[in-house]
Structure 1
Amino acid sequence: MISCIIIEDQPPAQRVLKKYIADIGNLNLKATFADALLAMDFLNNNPIDLIFLDIHLPKISGIDFLKVVKNNPNVILTTAFSDYALESYEYNVVDYLLKPFSFERFVQAVSKVPLKKNIENRKRNIIELEQYPELIFIKSGYEHIKIEVANIRYIQSDADYTEIYTTERKYLSQEPLRYWEGYLDSRKFVRIHKSYILNISKIQKIIGNRVHFEGDINLPIGRAYKEGFMKLVLK
């Protein structure tokens, strides 16, 4: 069960979200707020898996809320304005629902939320395979391809999929980028952009806002991730 809250100041939009949440079955609505400041007080004492967040709110906007909210909760934006779509993904939102949205589109967005139970089970399974403590398996058709984690250079988001780049080749995974961010060792793999996670050990150099690897490969560092990334690398 995914615990969630709604931050939305318009009663009609609240009613739609409440109905969709009730209909989907695996969501547990804990509270509804008309402004983000009240929600912050609630979140300080109540861990939540998912937030349905409007952008145009009283007191502080949804974007400003994303800048200061702690514990990196999963966020699905619900808004009537498309202007903020690109900026919102700098803050690692799960999806961006443009009002009015259908129940089918709502279900599609919720399906992207990584389930903590699944991630913990996957980690437990890897640990139990003592002879392969540094392996992941990527499903390709009817096969599961073994990849050594140490050989991964970076992982790139590709819509609802991800591309895993190793020192030898590229693999396509059905898991979203947020899954890998929660699954891989955060001491070794770090999010540097809305579209990239990289293996710190594979970095050759950092120049300005770009990370460089062997073979003249370089990736951008998103402004929302740069401070945390540099602290981790330079500690």
Structure 2
Amino acid sequence: MAIKVIVIDDEPAAIDVLKYYIAMTPSLQLLATFSDSREAIQYCMQQEIDLILSDIEMPSLTGMEIAAFSKGKTAIIFTTAYTHYAVDAFNLNVVDYLVKPIRYERFQQAIQKLQEQNNPQDADHFFVKTGMKGHLEKINIADIIQIEGAKNYVTIYHGNVKTLTLLNLKDLESRLACRDFCRIQKSSIVSIKHITGLKGGAVVLSNGNLVPIGPTYKEQVISLINSKLIN
């Protein structure tokens, strides 16, 4: 299951950045955003939430007060422009402390840290049902090159094999470490280590597939590739 997230920040621009990062991270599901922290607390009392991304200095309740209210029941990552709250924040056992402006790579590290805390011995494989009755197929996560979604089906490209199974992308998101996979378009997730190049607005994968980059994900993908570029 995906990690259910809410965002609390009194600055609309900061909320927009986090919404964009969440949309690019397959393991996250955004439930709601709030500029009023009191409204956020009311929402938390009525909904199941896995993670709160919260600013610290806000007009009503501060991020510290939100963390104290949570009492460790909900994971919290602080997103703030100030560094001097860091010691107090970690005394409240928050997952991480992100200082604005937040880079996507740093955001990914925080989510990975949460995943490792939740699944300290996370499996390196899973099984899926195939079209044959009673038949299951083992998928090694390290072998996955691409996952392509179409309604309630996904096609998993792993090694030299292509497996079709009755699932959707959301069903697989929590199985994939966010630092190892990247959403290229709404219906496609690829393994970062299997990206071998960029050609005509598409990424080239190690199996020869060309996957067009969706407009929403273009900045992330180009940034990822440029970070490895030698001029």
TM-score normalised by the chain length of structure 2: 0.49
TM-score normalised by the chain length of structure 1: 0.48
Determine which structure has greater relative contact order: mean sequence separation of CA pairs < 8 Å that are 6+ residues apart, divided by chain length. 2
